[in-house]
Amino acid sequence: MTRDELLEKIKQTHADFVTALADLPEEVMTKRPVIDWWTLKDLLGHIAMWQQVAIRFIAEYKQDGCPKPLGLADDAAIDAYNKRGVELRRDLSLAKVRAEFDAAYRDLVASVESLRDEDLIKILPEPWKNRTLEYLIKINSYTHTPEHTEQIKLWRAAP
């Protein structure tokens, strides 16, 4: 995948997510659970957190040639990481979490724009097991965000 194709996917999935949130009042965004106990504000912070991971991976790649793994060995570790992310933002206002979400998106786009096509397809060294930087960006952005967009659409369509 080229850098421009990757950027287009990130931009489109972001736009779809923002559209899914359109016209919802703050009370709904901060109080009503959407997925289990997660609110829409929690989802904004969650997506920002994972986009920040992608940004970090890009920065580490550019600095050292190899992003450092998060050390999340299994689904339980990922769930715990997600829960910590929500807890860190729990007492923040919707405006602050939205600002973080918006900044993470802008920073991700800028970080990807700084890459060359070759950077995206180069096989990363161990411990990445034949993974590419494009893969690490993908799982933390344009394949992750649509999962939550669909959850919001289903939630909005429910009676």
C-alpha distances out from residue 72 to 38, 40, 66, 75, 81, Å: 21, 25, 17, 8, 8
- What's the total number of domains in the chain? 1
CA dihedral 76, 68, 142, 97 (to 10 degrees): 70
**Domain holding 53: CATH number?**
1.20.120.450
Q: Report CA 108 to chain centroid distance, whole Å.
A: 9
Closest CA to 87 of 95, 79, 98: 79
Give the pair of three-digit tokens for residue 49: 């957190």
Is the confidence at residue 159, as pLDDT, over 90?
Answer: no
1-48: per-residue pLDDT in tens? 999 999 999 999 999 999 999 999 999 999 999 988 899 999 999 999
Helices (H), the chain: 3-21, 26-31, 40-64, 75-89, 94-113, 117-121, 133-139, 145-157
- Euclidean distance between the first and the last CA atom of the chain, given in angstroms as a whole number: 40
105 pLDDT tier (thresholds 50, 70, 90): very high
This prediction has a pTM of: 0.95
Do 101 and 47 touch, CB atoms closer than 8 A? yes
Tens digits of per-residue pLDDT, 82-95?
A: 999 999 999 999 99
- State residue 35's pLDDT score: 86
pLDDT tens per residue across span 47-87: 999 999 999 999 999 999 999 999 998 999 999 999 999 99
Rounded to whole angstroms, how far apart are CA atoms 117 and 30? 39
Domain that holds residue 110: 3-157
What gap in Å lies between CA 33 and CA 54, rounded to an integer? 27
Mean pLDDT in residue range 97-125: 97
Q: What was the pLDDT predicted at 36? A: 87
Segment 94-102 mean pLDDT: 98
